Chain A
Amino acid sequence: MSAQAAAYRQRLFRTGASDTLPITLRHQRIYILPTRLGLAMASVVLLMLVASVNYRLSLGYALSFILTGLFASCLLNAYRNLSGIELREITAEDCFAPGPLAFRVEVGCQDTRKRYSVEIGTAHTAALTDIEPGSSGVATLHAEQVERGQHKLGRLTIASSFPLGLWRSWAYVHTPVDSYVYPTPETPAAPFPPVAGTSEKATQANGLRSRATHSGDFDSLRNWQPTDSPGSVAWKAVAKGKGWYSKDFASATQDEALLLRWDELPASMPLEQRLSRLCAWIVQARAQSRACRVVMPGIESINLQGGQMLRLMRYLATIDRDADDRT
């Protein structure tokens, strides 16, 4: 019985994040109730009707009924304004605390009716948009002042009080969309910790061995990208017809590789501050394209490329707030 109740709850209020996109709003999902203005107008119409009855005002009846007809057509149009709206994609981009965090909801409709003043929002934020027929638009939900961590989008409410604000129609859509908010990078950033290779601690086990570098020498070839400078193109390979490659000088042209260890951060610093500092270092290292290795309990990142970087940052974002005693 409780399972059934839960199923009804899910169907009525979409409490669980179990919808899969794309979703087209139909009558199964659309709710309509009068707004406060609608209730006020309705009571005025009732008052008018009572006056018309008592004074036998035929035109009073007519006026009240015209307004009642307006209510009815608004109800129909409130439904039609939401029905047929298609939620195509919801994406979220990670950001640094304190935000703003942006969820992008791609909406559209395939029929020929324009949708007016559609409010797409969650419990915390909302965006208002019109949807042109046959096209798709993006509503961006901004959340200001977000804290570090994993943020769920939560249940989306697609609502509208079109056409006259007498009725409010709405629908719930709940899809599992997450966004990660990274720690705030420390400003100004603290200087990098001493690089192992240039110091006397060269013998340290975890240090990266420095490589002798020669100008023009390169580590590897990677796929050419339009942004690469002409000097880095592997022209020999191009001439041989092997395709376009770029020479990767990353580790060669930069300073010695960095080693960022969580354990080396002063344990007396609060957790958030330590995270901020580490985050600032990582961001800076990536901006300078320095080779960098991050070692933390539970994760080890050997460079700051693509997936590695994302994994690392999301790990930083989700470190338990209460785990201050982590060593």
Chain B
Amino acid sequence: MTGKPAATNLLGTQAIQLLACMVLLAQLPMMFHVPLWLSIPSMLIVLCRVVKIDNSIISNPVLTGSLTLAGAIAIFVSYGHVLQRDPCIAFLFMLTGFKLAETRFRNDATLLVILCALLLLTQFFYWQSIVAAVLTLPGVVLIGLCLFQLQRHPMQWHRREAVNITAKLFLQGMPVALILFLAVPRLNPAGWGDGSSATTGLSDKMSIGSVSELVKSPEVAMRVEFDDKIPSPWQRYWRGPVLSGFDGSNWFALPSSYTRGRPAGAIEPDARVTDSTNYKVTMSPSYQRWLPVLDTPITAPVVLGSTAPATLNRERVADSAKRLTRNTQYTAKSGLSDRFSANAPGPEYLITTASNPQTRNFAAQLRARTNDDEALIQHLMQWYNQQAYHYTLAPQAINSDNAIDDFMFDTRQGFCEHFASSFVFILRAAGIPARVVTGYLGGEQNGEYMIVRQSDAHAWAEAYLNGNWVRFDPTAAVAPERVNQGIESIADATSSLARFLPKSVTLRWDAMNYAWQRLIIDFDRSSQTMLWKWLGIEQIRGWMIVATVFGLILIPLSLLNFLNKIKRRPAQTPVERQWRLFCQRMTQNGFTRETGESAAAYVERIGSEWPTHRCALDTVLNLYHDGQFSESGSADAASHQRIARAMKQARRSIRPPG
């Protein structure tokens, strides 16, 4: 209300230190999401102020200005653009550090608090794990503490008091936050926000080496809950993109297979499918359209909470209608067989290239031996098994036009993609329609669900035999343990961190992550609908939310007010009541009791005016004193009542003279 001199707005060392702690804690979760050349200097500046190093050089406005400009240019150069999310966040990160360096006054500090609140949010663009949430909490509390400290500014403040009050504020706010979190309708905004072009997991293109890259990643590709039957390890083939096109070195999905063949669910039930299973998949964002399903899918999966139906194309690749930019849940049904019937495939499944003459020769030899396709495939599988092929994640590099030749007859060591691509090449050269199928092989049961990791990525082959597409996995012929025991049986495949931790710890941690993912991160409109259904509300309306929120605020408030009122009006004893009535009556007769006048003096004053009532007045006074001060008066209710009655009589007997 009054213009305070600038000096009172100058912050003390303690305040600056607290602000520095806040900035540091707000920057901490973002540290690895901005380039290290930016985060480390920026945080060092802040750290200087935490440990009270006088950095008056850094806080020189000219220097700070030019440093900020330099930082902005560096960000521009490093990101290549300015007005996009990531460089803006990096700039915010840097700005917060520099702002702290020059903070002297209260106004700077309030701006700093606002910047920190924004900074705390930005990390969620990059990760939303439990760790992120845990790292955010201290920052949020520090924001509260800094606000408290700024509010108290000219006054002394004690750390314990400040912490207590701030903690109380947060706890009081929690119910409101919780209700808002559950009740505020989640919108499904159109489009923007899905901007990231990142790709994880399999893609619709396979070159030699692309799958083995994936195998190094322990990231969770998906989690699966089976309704009834959990498939055996050798049945856990998760069908991903089918790669039918071949250009000599790369396998790729044919454009025709990506156009949706049949509408959803129109694949006719296979009579021979007797063994089937239903399951629910929670898939991490892949930024692709396809949904991994257990081989072989019978119906198109149903994506939960999505209006656009997913489809199965004629290569039995499950295709969701849009790219999966966030966690996706879908249910699906699959038959646990290695074959499914289909119409005779077109010539595109026989295409090979003119390269790899040795392999083509080898195919011709095989074909010469037998006319039976099935027997030919058996021979080929035996070949893989009996020749000195070696399964390794680190094969010798092959850089030639005849990569398959080199692999088959020279290096003889490779990974699933080598085996699958050479296998399909040979079958095609021998005139059998074949294609490469990529996906995942494996899955680890953790309590009620199965974890499939990126490291389970795999490639196998399918050949068309007698009206069926049949699955063949040449890798299994070379390294059967890969199929039966998972990728971990192959040395150095697991992540370095996981190797140091006991298996049970990592599994429990994953279970926690899964629950976190399902309950918090994936909480959206469909979860809200389920919540309302569970509460017995069919259709939630806006006024219900408003009423709930206000009800939850107003009811405790009015209760509090009511309690206060009761407390304010202390219980009145009968004697006190009689005395009050007596005083009222005397006031009406012109004897107002002065403030600070004792009861005795008051009665004396009245008595001197009305000598005729002196006796009755004294009785009232004595009874009042008896009731008020005698020990029995406060303890014994009956005698208290008696005194009150006597007082009433005496009071009634007093009438104004005349």
Contact = CB atoms under 8 A, between A and B. Distances in A.
A59 B140 contact: no
Contact of B181 (A53, A54, A56, A65): A65
Q: How large is the interface on A (under 10, 10 to 19, 20 to 34, 35 or more residues)?
A: 35 or more
A51 B121 contact: yes
A58 B522 contact: yes
A61 B527 CA distance: 15
Interface in B116-160: 117-118, 120-121, 124-125, 128, 132-133, 136, 140, 144, 147-148, 150-152, 154-155
Interface in A102-129: 111, 116-117, 119, 121, 123-126, 128
A124 B184 CA distance: 46
A52 B140 CA distance: 17
A59 to B, nearest CB: 5
Interface stretch (A69-77, A276-284, A288-296, A310-318): A69-77
B154 A128 contact: yes
Given A47-B118, A164-B169, A69 B176 contact: yes
A124 B3 CA distance: 10
A177 interface: no
Interface in B152-177: 152, 154-155, 165-166, 168-170, 172-177
Interface string A225-246: 0000000000000000000000
A163 interface: yes
A70 B193 contact: no
Given A69-B173, A69-B177, A116-B152, A57 B128 contact: yes
B187 A53 contact: yes
Contacts of A44: 114, 117-118
Given A44-B117, A56-B326, A58-B521, A128 B181 contact: no
B151 A73 contact: no
Contacts of B553: 72
Tell me what chain B mostly uses at the interface: helix, strand, loop, or mixed: helix
A126 B140 CA distance: 33
A189 interface: no
A165 B180 contact: no
Contacts of B169: 70, 73-74, 77, 163-164
B505 interface: no
Contacts of A41: 113-114, 117
A14 to B, nearest CB: 15
Interface stretch (A91-99, A144-152, A154-162, A208-216): A154-162
Interface string A39-71: 011001101100111111111111111111111
Contact of A69 (B136, B175, B188, B326): B175
Contact of B124 (A59, A66, A73): A59
Interface residues of B, number: 56
Contacts of B151: 117, 161-165
B120 A63 contact: yes
A90 interface: no
Contact of A54 (B150, B189, B326): B189
A165 B173 contact: no
A66 B114 contact: no
A117 B150 CA distance: 11
Contacts of A64: 121
Given A60-B121, A70-B169, A65 B1 contact: no
Interface string B626-653: 0000000000000000000000000000
B177 A66 contact: yes
A134 to B, nearest CB: 14
B117 A67 contact: yes
A121 B1 contact: yes
Contacts of B219: none
Contacts of B155: 116-117, 128, 130
Contacts of B132: 59
B121 A66 contact: no
Most central of A44, A60, A66 by chain B CB within 10 Å? A66
B144 A65 contact: no
B86 interface: no
A96 B66 CA distance: 55
Contacts of A162: 151
Interface in B575-623: none
Contact of B174 (A61, A69, A77, A116): A69
B180 A59 contact: no
Nearest to B128: A59
A166 B114 CA distance: 12
A165 B523 CA distance: 33
A313 to B, nearest CB: 28
B44 interface: no
B173 A126 contact: no
A202 interface: no
Contacts of A161: 151
Contacts of A60: 121, 124
Contact of A48 (B113, B121, B136, B154): B121
Contacts of A6: none
A123 B1 CA distance: 7
Give me the 5 closest cross-chain CB pairs, A-B, nearest first: A69-B173, A69-B177, A73-B172, A165-B151, A164-B147
Given A27-B561, A37-B147, A77-B172, 4 more contacts: A41-B117, A66-B140, A72-B553, A117-B155
Interface of A: 27, 37, 40-41, 44-45, 47-48, 51-74, 76-77, 84, 111, 116-117, 119, 121, 123-126, 128, 130, 157, 159, 161-166
16 contacts: A41-B114, A54-B192, A54-B193, A56-B326, A59-B133, A60-B121, A60-B124, A63-B121, A66-B174, A67-B140, A72-B172, A116-B152, A121-B1, A161-B151, A163-B165, A164-B169
